[in-house]
Structure 1
Amino acid sequence: MTQNATDRSGLGRGLLLASMLLCAANFRAPITGVGPLLEVIRGSFGLSAAQAGLLTTLPIVAFATVSPFCVGLVRRFGLERTLMAAMILLGAGIALRSAGPLWALFAGTAMMGAAIALGNVLLPTLVMRDFPDRVTATTTFYVITMALSGAAFSVLVAPLFEALGSWRIALGLGVVPVLLAIFVWSPRTRRGAAIAPAGQRAKSPSLWRTPLAWQVTGFMALNSFVFYVVITWLPAMLQAKGHTMADSGALHGLMQAVGIIPLLLALPLMSRLKDQRMAAFLVSLLAAIGFLGLALAPQWAVVWVSAYGAASGAGLVLALSFASLRASSVEQGAALSGMAQSVGYTLAAIGPASMGALHDAMGSWDAALWICAAAALVQAVIGLYAGRAVKLALVAPRSPPA
Structure 2
Amino acid sequence: MVLAAFNLRLAIADVPPLLDRIQLDFGLSAALAGVLTGLPVLCFGAFALATPRLTRGRSPELLLVGCLAVVGVGAAVRAGPSLAFLFGGTALLSAAIAIANVVLPGIVKRRFPARLGLVTGLYVMALQVGAAVGAGTAVPIADGADLAWQGALASAAVPAFAAAVFLLVLVGTDRRPVDTENPKIRRIWRDPLAWQVTAFLGLQSLLYQSQLTWIPVILQAGEFTATAAGVLLAIFHLLAVPSSVLIPVLMARRNDQRSAVAVMSGLSASGLLGLLLAPRLAFGWVVILAVAQGGLLGSALTLIVLRSRHSGDATRLSTMAQGVGYLIAACGPALVGVIHQLTGGWELPLLSLVTLVVPMLLTGLRAGRPGYVGNVTGALKEDTLSSG
On whether the aligned pair clears a TM of 0.5, the verdict is yes
Maintained 8 Å contact 2:255/2:370: yes
Quick check: 314-323 or 76-85, which moved more?
A: 76-85
1:195 aligns with 2:165: no
From 30, 50, 57, the counterpart of 1:69: 50
Map 1:200-279 → 2, pairs under 5 A: 201-205=181-185, 206-241=187-222, 243-266=224-247, 269-279=250-260
1:298 aligns with 2:279: yes
Q: How far 1:124 sits from its partner (Å)?
A: 0.7
2:323 alignment counterpart: 342
Inter-partner Cα distance in structure 1 for 2:70 and 2:278: 43
1:23 alignment counterpart: 4
AA matched with 1:57 = G
From 353, 361, 364, the counterpart of 2:334: 353
From 169, 172, 189, the counterpart of 2:151: 169
Maintained 8 Å contact 2:251/2:299: no
1:178 alignment counterpart: 160
Map 1:81-230 → 2, pairs under 5 A: 81-163=62-144, 164=146, 166-187=148-169, 188-195=171-178, 201-205=181-185, 206-230=187-211
Inter-partner Cα distance in structure 1 for 2:249 and 2:117: 10
Quick check: 313-322 or 370-379, which moved more?
A: 370-379
Inter-partner Cα distance in structure 2 for 1:260 and 1:140: 9
Maintained 8 Å contact 1:154/1:250: no
Q: Could you give the per-residue CA deviations for residues 139-168 of structure 1, whole angstroms, max 9, x where no partner exists?
A: 001111111121122222233344337222
TM-score, normalised via structure 1 length: 0.86
1:324 aligns with 2:298: no
Maintained 8 Å contact 1:285/1:377: no
1:374 alignment counterpart: 355
1:392 alignment counterpart: 373
Q: How far 1:230 sits from its partner (Å)?
A: 2.2
Unaligned runs of 5+ in 1: 1-19, 396-402
Q: 1:112 to 1:295 in 2, by over 3 A?
A: farther
Q: How far 1:291 sits from its partner (Å)?
A: 1.9
Q: How far 1:268 sits from its partner (Å)?
A: 5.7
AA matched with 1:166 = A
Maintained 8 Å contact 2:191/2:374: no
Q: 1:358 to 1:173 in 2, by over 3 A?
A: farther
Q: How far 1:39 sits from its partner (Å)?
A: 3.5
AA matched with 2:11 = P
Corresponding residue SS for 2:56? helix
Quick check: 250-259 or 292-301, which moved more?
A: 292-301
From 22, 37, 50, the counterpart of 1:56: 37
Q: 1:157 to 1:365 in 2, by over 3 A?
A: farther
Q: How far 1:330 sits from its partner (Å)?
A: 1.6
Unaligned runs of 5+ in 2: 377-388
Q: How far 1:385 sits from its partner (Å)?
A: 0.6
Q: Could you give the per-residue CA deviations for residues 346-380 of structure 1, whole angstroms, max 9, x where no partner exists?
A: 11111233333444444444433222222223211
Inter-partner Cα distance in structure 1 for 2:32 and 2:268: 27
Q: How far 1:264 sits from its partner (Å)?
A: 4.9
Corresponding residue SS for 2:7? coil
Q: Could you give the per-residue CA deviations for residues 327-346 of structure 1, whole angstroms, max 9, x where no partner exists?
A: 12221111011000111111
2:13 alignment counterpart: 32
Quick check: 93-102 or 128-137, which moved more?
A: 93-102
- How many percent identity over aligned positions? 36
Q: 1:265 to 1:391 in 2, by over 3 A?
A: closer
Maintained 8 Å contact 1:56/1:228: no
Inter-partner Cα distance in structure 1 for 2:97 and 2:266: 28
TM-score, normalised via structure 2 length: 0.89
Maintained 8 Å contact 1:50/1:354: no
Inter-partner Cα distance in structure 2 for 1:237 and 1:36: 16
Q: Could you give the per-residue CA deviations for residues 279-312 of structure 1, whole angstroms, max 9, x where no partner exists?
A: 1122122112222222332222211111111111
Q: Could you give the per-residue CA deviations for residues 51-82 of structure 1, whole angstroms, max 9, x where no partner exists?
A: 32222321111111111222221223311221
Inter-partner Cα distance in structure 1 for 2:142 and 2:350: 29
2:383 alignment counterpart: none
AA matched with 1:204 = K
Matched residue count? 373
